[in-house]
Structures are given as structure tokens and as C-alpha cells.
Structure 1
Amino acid sequence: MEKKLLIIGFVWPEPKSSAAGSRMMQLIGVFQSENYQITFASPCAKSDNAFNLESINVSQVAIELNNGSFDDYVKTLNPDVVLFDRFMMEEQFGWRVTEQCPNALKVLDTEDLHGLRKGRQQAFKDNKTFDEGYLFSDIAKREIASVYRSDLTLIISEVEMDILKNQFKVDESILLYSPFMMNPISKEEIQSLPKFENRNHFITIGNFLHEPNYNAVLYLKETIWPLIRKQLPKAELHIYGAYASQKVNQLHNDKQGFLIKGFAEDVNEVMQHAKVCLAPIRFGAGLKGKLIDAMKNGVPCVTTSIGAEGMFGDLNANGFIADNPDVFVEKAIQLFQDEPLWESKQQNGFKIVNLRFNKNEQQDSFINRLKETSEHLNKHRLNNFTGQMLQHHAFQSTKFMSRWIEEKNKN
């Protein structure tokens, strides 16, 4: 009998706009490889950049927050697995799923640890060192509670796995390391990519609604790019990203070679024209989709320790990691001018994608863990008393707050 998956999305997936959208499409692909009948539901309005899921036989359903109509819907659908896209969706709909479909396996996809990203952002704003005072925030409390209430939580970065296990003391039995799942890059694909002499500018890319990306572009504009242009007066920086607002477009300056290009219809095409990718990310979490895109298209990178987090493991980076702006600039120029260095860093990138983010290996690990948890679900839940306790209290608080809002909305 065909198994059913219900994905409750924080937003409709936009693989051309964000790493989160690409990640969601990868997860859908995993479940499709196991012949799941998939429904994607979201309370969010759909943008023009949203992927047409029906084109890949995924049903699309609009749902409402704080509305009992979802209870009837999910009970009728009766999914085997429910995947919550970020902890906010588990908060809103998790108790309803538990009430209506108690035997459904509940999986939380964090995308990145929101508490970690927001804590780092606040520390950056305060110009202070990030520490546990910033990490153990109210958002983190909500997020970790959601992790415990779920049967399995997908963690995209090994660094975040360590933080959950060591600082939050979350048991590994309810966590699954699940990074990006990329098709291996073949020798033929590598050979077909443009060579060093056929590439001629710097590039950066990222959804401008994501604060770490906007901040990185500002940092490039104000600090890093003027230093690069001083030594390379004809160089250009091409800046791509969805949702460029007026404040972003105002940064465009032809004379400085600082070019806001906006939405990239085909990220592979724009990456393959570029020589070096710049990603001076000063706060954030998760894995950086821009670095993955750069690696698979043969573009060496200069990034920060935050940007590099969880990306390279024990392998050599596909470029350089520098937090000091002068060192960052020095390495960017070195990569831009030194062909043998550029080629060696490019090869590192191919190796990282093929060894660390190999779709075949990551997919097998994911499916095996999913099956194992499903088959022993009652025992798995009994071993997670903290989750049961939080589930009990969530029913008393979240449920009745939602019911109150629902009644209020009727008046």
C-alpha cells in the first residue's frame, strides 16, 4: 500500500531563491524515491517564485492557522509521516497532528538552528562575543521543545549536531544529521566547465530577505570591495539574489564595479561565468547554499568561519577562510590572479561535494533511519520522556491558546 507524507511548509518552496527551497526539493525527492504519495500544505501566501509542485505529482493544499478545518483535513488524509518545515509549523500544527493522527511519524526539519542564528545576530548587533547567554534564548527554548516533541529532527550541520548534544544535552536518538543531498559531479561535467581564462569577475549570491545575506552585501560594499578595487581597478562584483529591495538596489554602483544583478534565473549559468565567490558572512547558521552552488560550478570561494561552518569537515576548503577583512581581500585577489592555486582549490570543491554531500549516501542513511524509527515508534517515544512531558504541556497551553484565537476569529 502506498505510504502518505504530509509536509507542512513554513513557506512554499522556492529552489531558485534560497538554499531552504533547494533543501526542501531534495527531501521531496527522497520520499518520492520511496514511492510516497506527497501532499505539501502551507498557510503562507504563494509568491511568483514558488515551484509548481504539481508538475512533479505533489499535491498542493492551502491550510489556515488556528482553524479546526485542519483537524478534519489531516484526519481524512491520515498520513504515515508528517514533516514540519521549521519549528514554527510544529508549534502550530504538531498538537493537532498528534490528536488526529497519533500513529503518524513526526519529523522536524530545522533548516538551520534558528536560536543559534538569531543569537549570533543579536551578539553581532550588540558588538559582543557570542556565548551561552545569547544561545539559550526564548527562541531556542521554543525550538528545542519542538525538537523533543518530534519523533525525529533533521539537522543540516555537524556543528549544530554538536551544539544540540553538548550544550542543550539533546539525546542523539531523536536527531539525524542530514545535510544537502547533491548528485555526484562526474569527470565529464568537470571538464565541460569554463576554465580560469574564460571567467572574469567576482560573484556573491543570496536571498536578500535573509538578514545574514544582506549584512554580507553591506560588508562587501563598505569594507571589502573598496580594498579589492584598489588593487584590481577594473574588477567587477556581480551580486545576485531574490527579493532585492530598494535599499539593496541603491547599493548598485557602475563606477565602483559593484553591480546588483537581482534574481538569478539559472544559478549554474551565472556561477560558471564567475572566477571567485565572496561570502563574508558575519552571523548565521546551517549550511550555505551559495558555497555549494559555487563548488559544483567550479568557483573557488573566500568566506568567514561562520560561512565555512559545517561545510568542509576534515577536507581542505575550496578556497580560503578569513575573518579579518585585510586577509579576506588578500586571499580573494590571490585566487583571482593565481591560476594553479585557483585550479587546486576548484578541485577541492568537487571533492567536498562528492564526499560530504553525496546524494546516494545521504539518502540511504535518511531512509534507513526513517524506517527504523517508524517500525519501533512506540518504544522510540517511551525513550523520550522529555518529549512526552512537553507534548502534555503543549496540549494544555498551545492547544487552548489556538482554540481561543479560533473562537475569537469567529466573532
Structure 2
Amino acid sequence: MQKTLLIIGFVWPEPNSSAAGSRMMEIISCFKSDDYNIAFASACAKTDNAFDLTSLGIQQVSIELNHSSFDEFLVKLQPDVVLFDRFMTEEQYGWRVAEHCPEALRILDTEDLHCLRKGRQQAFKDQQIFDNTYLFNDFAKREIASIYRCDLSIIISEAELDVLTQVFKVDESLLYYLPFLLEPIFEEEISSLPEFSEREHFVTIGNFLHPPNYQSVLYLKESIWPLIRQQLPKAELHIYGAYASEKVNQLHNEKDQFLIKGYAEDVSVVMQNAKVCLAPLQFGAGLKGKLIDAMKNGTPCIMSSIAAEGMFGNIEANGFITDDVEELVNSAIALNSNECIWKETQVNGFKIINTRFQRSDFQTDFIQMIHDVILILKVHRQENFIGQMLQHHTLQSTKFMSKWIEEKNK
């Protein structure tokens, strides 16, 4: 009998706008490979950049917050698995799923650890060294509670898996490491990429709704690009990203060749035209899609330690990792000018894609793990008493708050 998956999305997937959108499409592909009937539901307004899920045979459902119509939808659909895209959707809809579909496996896709990203952002604002006093924030209280309430949580980064198990002491049975799921890059594809001499200029890319990306561009504008331009006066920096606001567009400066390009219709073309990708993120979490895009298209990177976190394992990076401005500038100039170094780091990127993020290395095991947990779901939940406790209190508090809001809105 065909199984049914319900995905409750914080937003509709936009794979051309964000790494989160690409990630969601990879997860959908996993379930499609196991012949799941899939419905994707979201209360978010859909933009023109949203992927047309109906083209994959996926039902698209607009839902409302704090409304019993979602309960009716659940009862009719009767999903076998419910996946929450970010902990906020689990907070909003998890109690309804638990009440109306108690036998459904509940999975949280964390995307990245929001508490880690928010803590680092606050430490950056305070100009302080990030430590556990910043990590143990209100987002952490909500996010870790959501992880416990779910039967499984998908973690995209090995570094974040360590944070959850070592710092927050979450049991490994509740967590599953599932990074980006990519196809291999074959020699024929590599040989078709533009060579060093066919490329020019620098590039950076990132969805501007994501605060780390805006701050990174500001950092480039104020501290890094002027120093690169001193030594490479003809160089240009092309800045791409969806949802560029007025404050982003105001950074555009043709005289300094600091060029805001906006939405990238085809990220592969953008990366293949560039000689070097710059990713000096000062805070953030998760795996960075911009680095994956760069490696797939043979574009070496200069990146901060936060940008590189969880990406490379024991393999040499596809460029240079540094948090020092002078080192970053010198490394960027070396990559732009030295074809030998450029080619060496480019090869590292292909190796990383082909050894650390192969779909075939993860997809089958992931689907089998889901089958296994479904078979022992009752025992699995019994062993997660903290989750049962949190679920009990959530049903008593969130449920009645939501019902009060629903009545108030009538």
C-alpha cells in the first residue's frame, strides 16, 4: 500500500533562491524514490520563485494558522509521515498532528540550528566571543523542545550534530545526519567547465532575506573589497541574491566595481563565469549552499571558518579558510592570480562533492531508517520520556492558546 507524506513548510520551496529550498527538493526526492504520495502544505504566501510541486505530482495545499480546517485536512489525508520544515511549523501544527494522526511518524527538518545562528548573530552584535551563554537562548529552548517532541530530527551538519549531542545532550536515537544529497561530478562534466583563463572577477551570492548574507556583503564592502581593489584595480565583485532590498541596492557602486546584480536566474552560469567566490560570513549555521554551488562549478572559494563549518571533513578545502582580513585579501589575490593554486583548490572541490555528499551514500539508508522507526514507533516514543512530557504540556498549552486565537478571529 502506498504511503503518504505530509510536509508542512514554513515557506514554499525556492531552490533557485536559497540553499533551504534546494535542500527541501532533495528530501522530497528521497521520499519520491520510495514511491510516497506527497502533499506539501504551507500557510505562507507563494512567490513567483516558488517551485511548481505539481509538476512532480505533489499536492500543494494552502493552510491557515490557528484554524480547525487544518484538522479536517489531516483527518482526510491520514499521513503515515509528517515532516515539519523548521521548528516553528512544528510549534504551530505539531500538537494538531499528534492529536489527529497519533500513529504518524513526526520528523523535524531543522534546516540549520536556529539557536546556533541566532546566538552567533547576537554575539556578533555585542562584539563578544560566542560561547554557551549565547547558545542557550530562547530559540534554543524552543528548538530543542521541538526536537524532543518529534520522533526524528534531520541534521544537515556534522558540527551541529556534535552541538546537539555534546552540548545539549540530545540522545542520538532522535537525530539523523543527512547533508546535501548531490549527484557525482564526472570527468566529462569537469572538462567542459571554463578554464582559469576563461574566467574573470569575483562573485558572492546569497538570499538577502537571510541576515548572515547581508552582513557578509556589508563586510566585503567596508573591509575587504577596498583592499582587494588596491592590488587588483580592474577587478569586479558581482553580488547575486534573491530579495535584494533598498538598503542592499544602495551598496551598488560602479566606480568601485562593487556591483549588486540581484537574483541569479542560473547560479551555474554565474559561478562558471567567476574566477573566485568570496564567502566571509561572520555568523550563521548549517551547510552553505553557496560553497556547494561553487564547488560544483569549479570555482575556488575564500571563506570564513563559519562558512566552512561542517563542509570539508578531513579533505582539503576548495580554497582558503580564514577569519583574518589581511589573510583573506592575500588569499583572494593569490587564487585570482595563480593558476596552479587555483587548479589545486578546484580539484579539492570536486573531491568533496564526490566523497562527502553523494546521494547514493545516504538516500537508501535514510529511507530504511524511516521504515525501521515506523515499525517500532511505540517503543521509540516510550524511550523518549522527555518528548512525551513536552508533548503533554504542549497539548495543554499551545492547543488551547491556538483555539482561543481561532475563536477570537471568528
Smaller-chain TM-score bracket: over 0.9
Partner of 1:104: 104
Partner of 2:71: 71
Tell me the distance in 2 between the aligned counterparts of 1:75 and 1:130: 45
The answer to whether residue 15 in structure 2 is matched with residue 19 in structure 1 is: no
The answer to whether residue 220 in structure 2 is matched with residue 220 in structure 1 is: yes
Partner of 2:131: 131
The answer to whether residue 266 in structure 2 is matched with residue 266 in structure 1 is: yes
CA RMSD of aligned residues (A): 0.6
Partner of 1:158: 158
The answer to whether residue 195 in structure 2 is matched with residue 186 in structure 1 is: no
Tell me the distance in 2 between the aligned counterparts of 1:375 and 1:237: 53
Secondary structure, counterpart of 1:264 in structure 2:
coil
Partner of 1:45: 45
Partner of 1:28: 28
Tell me the distance in 2 between the aligned counterparts of 1:131 and 1:177: 24
Tell me the distance in 1 between the aligned counterparts of 2:278 and 2:365: 32
Partner of 2:290: 290
Shift of 1:365: 2.3
1:344 maps to a residue whose letter is E
Partner of 1:231: 231
Secondary structure, counterpart of 1:39 in structure 2:
strand
Tell me the distance in 2 between the aligned counterparts of 1:138 and 1:60: 32
Secondary structure, counterpart of 2:401 in structure 1:
helix
Partner of 1:369: 369
Partner of 1:120: 120
Secondary structure, counterpart of 1:44 in structure 2:
coil
Structure 2, unaligned stretches of length 5 or more? none
Shift of 1:375: 1.2
Secondary structure, counterpart of 1:320 in structure 2:
strand
2:81 maps to a residue whose letter is V
Q: Share of identical aligned residues, percent?
A: 67
Tell me the distance in 2 between the aligned counterparts of 1:347 and 1:172: 34
4+ residue segments displaced more than 6 Å? none
Shift of 1:408: 0.6
Shift of 1:367: 1.1
Q: Deviations over 1:154-205 (max 9, x none)?
A: 0000000000001100000000001100111111110110000000110000
Partner of 2:339: 339
1:265 maps to a residue whose letter is E
Tell me the distance in 2 between the aligned counterparts of 1:373 and 1:303: 38
1:370 maps to a residue whose letter is I
Partner of 1:388: 388
Tell me the distance in 1 between the aligned counterparts of 2:196 and 2:371: 46
2:327 maps to a residue whose letter is V
Written as runs of structure 1 = structure 2, the 5 A alignment for 1:250-329 is: 250-329=250-329
Shift of 1:9: 0.2
Q: Deviations over 1:292-342 (max 9, x none)?
A: 000000000000000000000111000000101010000000000110110
Partner of 1:242: 242
Partner of 1:147: 147
Shift of 1:368: 1.8
Alignment size in residue pairs: 410
Tell me the distance in 2 between the aligned counterparts of 1:73 and 1:209: 31
Tell me the distance in 2 between the aligned counterparts of 1:361 and 1:258: 40
Tell me the distance in 1 between the aligned counterparts of 2:369 and 2:272: 36
Tell me the distance in 1 between the aligned counterparts of 2:161 and 2:129: 21
Q: Deviations over 1:213-246 (max 9, x none)?
A: 0000000000000000000000001100000111
1:338 maps to a residue whose letter is N
The answer to whether residue 407 in structure 2 is matched with residue 407 in structure 1 is: yes
Secondary structure, counterpart of 1:203 in structure 2:
strand
Tell me the distance in 2 between the aligned counterparts of 1:74 and 1:191: 50
1:61 maps to a residue whose letter is V
TM normalised by structure 1 equals 0.99
Tell me the distance in 2 between the aligned counterparts of 1:393 and 1:94: 12
Shift of 1:362: 1.6
Partner of 1:204: 204
Shift of 1:263: 0.2
Tell me the distance in 1 between the aligned counterparts of 2:190 and 2:51: 28
Partner of 1:350: 350
1:409 maps to a residue whose letter is N
Secondary structure, counterpart of 1:108 in structure 2:
strand
Shift of 1:63: 0.4
1:271 maps to a residue whose letter is M
Tell me the distance in 2 between the aligned counterparts of 1:336 and 1:368: 45
Tell me the distance in 1 between the aligned counterparts of 2:187 and 2:225: 34
Shift of 1:56: 1.1
Tell me the distance in 2 between the aligned counterparts of 1:297 and 1:245: 28
2:64 maps to a residue whose letter is E
Q: Deviations over 1:226-275 (max 9, x none)?
A: 00000000000110000011111111111111111100010011110010
Shift of 1:407: 0.8
Secondary structure, counterpart of 1:38 in structure 2:
strand
Tell me the distance in 1 between the aligned counterparts of 2:321 and 2:369: 34
Secondary structure, counterpart of 2:73 in structure 1:
helix
Secondary structure, counterpart of 1:371 in structure 2:
helix
TM normalised by structure 2 equals 0.99
Secondary structure, counterpart of 1:31 in structure 2:
helix
